[in-house]
């Protein structure tokens, strides 16, 4: 019998989608070619599943869907919001591709320390639920995998059970990056050049894919564009999305900062354009009209483990890029020669890189082979191989049942029991701990 797969999205799945929703959608589409797949979404939606079923959920609906599944894929806050998903007895896949707790360290950097600590402690509880109950974990890159292996080790998921099951731990956590469609993008109609009143058909178009988030650096981009228009006055810079399609995502301060800078430089609605959000199915037309893709970020921990998913759209469309060094996809840009990487906050470097690409009429053609090779490496069918393999033979993690070594927190529990004066509990915890350490029987 084929595995019945339930993929639960915590993000809005509709014509306008951000990265987490896109990932769930494409997972469902790829897995739906082999398995019966239900994509559960939290919102009313105008789009229909492509080889899979889309169901809007509330608590009761999600509980029912979970009882009918043989495999459940979750991410984000879902296990906290719907704790019954931890108790279904069904193998649970946890998608860790987005290290949201690192993003929030940057997003809340200007808040009072007490608020930042409350938020961080809450996110650690979310991570605890994910890491302690997952049977199989996904991440977006080998660099991320190293990070998550450290997290799993801290929560005692790397132990004699899981290492005996697989010394490489690929059966516990593997890399499933964002992917690309097999079919190339289509330009069914003009969308910007010659259509937008301030963007002429022969203008040179720089495109910022995705949103403006607090951990990114649109300010350096705008300052660089201000330099370049003095040499290339027909340059236009278009942000594809500033209003997140999920109303629960708070507005980012960086959006206001970018608007203010653009206004101060006299660029807004003349050279720099801030768009609400491009529909997912229309993004290909924007990418094909553009001449250069641009993505810049700030210097902080999030950068080290980020996976800038919208850069894959540039690979899909063969769009040369200028990107900041430091994340995994910047390494891909360098490896395949897909554009230019620059230093963090380097306005002059960004301006120079934009000029080189915009003044070269063969910029796309020169990089064609590199784009083809990179695209092959990131096809959704290729990217999802580890998840497909798990769905063909779903199983619980080796340490999910039977006798386990006590958690690393046992010593902490002993100390807390001592402070409370709970001597009986202290005795039990101490006995359990030392029986395990000495190799005796385990409770």
Q: Cβ contacts of residue 201 below 8 Å, gap of 6+?
A: 193, 194
- Pick left, alpha or beta for residue 171 (phi over 0 → left; psi -120 to 50 → alpha; otherwise beta): alpha
Q: In this predicted structure, which of 22-26, 48-52, 146-150, 421-425 has the lowest mean pLDDT?
A: 421-425
Mean confidence (pLDDT) of the chain? 88
* Secondary element (H or E) of residue 236: strand 235-239
Q: Cβ contacts of residue 366 below 8 Å, gap of 6+?
A: 360
The residues pairing with 293 across neighbouring beta strands, listed in sequence order, are 207, 321
Let me know: does 294 contact 208? Beta carbons within 8 Å: yes
Rounded to whole angstroms, how far apart are CA atoms 163 and 393? Answer: 19
| Predicted confidence (pLDDT) per residue in 375-429, tens digit | 998 999 999 999 999 999 999 999 986 433 444 444 334 333 333 444 444 444 4
Rounded to whole angstroms, how far apart are CA atoms 23 and 88? Answer: 24
Q: What is the pLDDT of residue 415?
A: 30
Q: Cβ contacts of residue 284 below 8 Å, gap of 6+?
A: 184, 185, 186, 187, 316, 317
| Predicted confidence (pLDDT) per residue in 93-121, tens digit | 999 998 888 888 877 888 899 998 998 89
Rounded to whole angstroms, how far apart are CA atoms 50 and 310? Answer: 22
Smallest CA-to-CA distance from 94 within 70, 111, 78, 83 is with 78
- What is the three-class DSSP state of 323? strand
Q: What is the pLDDT of residue 57?
A: 96
- Say how many C-beta atoms besides its own lie within 10 A of residue 433's C-beta: 16
| Predicted confidence (pLDDT) per residue in 138-185, tens digit | 999 999 999 999 999 999 999 999 999 999 999 999 999 999 988 899
Let me know: does 50 contact 276? Beta carbons within 8 Å: no
Q: What is the pLDDT of residue 437?
A: 37
Rounded to whole angstroms, how far apart are CA atoms 414 and 429? Answer: 6
pTM for this model (two decimals): 0.81
| Predicted confidence (pLDDT) per residue in 197-255, tens digit | 999 999 999 999 888 988 899 999 999 999 999 999 999 999 998 887 777 777 789 99
Hunting for tokens 């046992």 — which residue is that? 410
Q: What is the pLDDT of residue 227?
A: 98
């Amino acid at each position: 019998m084929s595995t019945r797969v339930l993929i639960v999205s915590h993000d809005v799945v509709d014509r306008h989608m951000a990265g987490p929703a896109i990932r769930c959608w494409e997972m469902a589409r790829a897995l739906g070619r082999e398995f019966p797949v239900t994509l559960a979404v939290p919102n009313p939606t105008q789009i229909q599943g492509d080889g899979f079923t889309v169901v809007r959920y509330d608590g009761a609906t999600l509980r029912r869907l979970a009882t009918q599944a043989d495999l459940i894929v979750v991410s984000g806050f879902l296990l906290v919001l719907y704790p019954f998903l931890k108790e279904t007895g069904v193998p649970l896949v946890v998608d860790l591709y987005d290290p949201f707790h690192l993003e929030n360290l940057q997003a809340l950097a200007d808040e009072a320390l007490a608020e930042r600590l409350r938020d961080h402690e809450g996110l650690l509880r979310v991570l605890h639920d994910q890491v302690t109950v997952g049977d199989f974990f996904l991440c977006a890159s080998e660099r991320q995998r190293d990070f998550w292996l450290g997290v799993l080790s801290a929560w005692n998921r790397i132990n004699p059970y899981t290492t005996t099951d697989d010394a490489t731990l690929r059966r516990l956590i593997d890399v499933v990056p964002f992917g690309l469609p097999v079919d190339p993008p289509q330009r069914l109609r003009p969308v910007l050049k010659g259509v937008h009143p301030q963007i002429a058909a022969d203008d040179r178009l720089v495109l910022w894919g995705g949103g403006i988030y607090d951990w990114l650096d649109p300010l350096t981009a705008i300052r660089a564009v201000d330099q370049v228009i003095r040499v290339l006055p027909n340059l236009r810079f278009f942000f594809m999305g500033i209003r997140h399609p999920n109303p629960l995502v708070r507005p980012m301060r960086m959006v206001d900062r970018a608007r203010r800078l653009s206004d101060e430089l006299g660029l807004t609605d003349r050279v720099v354009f801030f768009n609400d959000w491009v529909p997912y199915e229309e993004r290909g037309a924007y990418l094909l009209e553009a001449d250069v893709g641009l993505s810049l970020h700030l210097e902080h921990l999030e950068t080290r483990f980020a996976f800038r998913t919208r850069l894959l759209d540039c690979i899909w469309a063969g769009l040369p890029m200028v990107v900041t060094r430091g994340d995994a996809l910047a390494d891909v840009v360098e490896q395949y020669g897909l554009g230019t990487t620059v230093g963090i906050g380097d306005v002059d470097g960004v301006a120079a890189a934009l000029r080189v690409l915009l003044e070269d009429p063969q910029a796309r053609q020169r990089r064609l082979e590199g784009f083809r090779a990179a695209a092959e490496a990131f096809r959704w069918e290729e990217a999802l191989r580890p998840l497909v393999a798990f769905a063909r033979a779903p199983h619980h993690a080796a340490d999910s049942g039977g006798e386990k070594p006590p958690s690393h927190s046992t010593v902490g529990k002993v100390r807390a029991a001592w402070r409370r004066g709970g001597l009986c509990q202290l005795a039990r915890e101490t006995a359990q701990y030392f029986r395990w350490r000495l190799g005796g029987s385990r409770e």
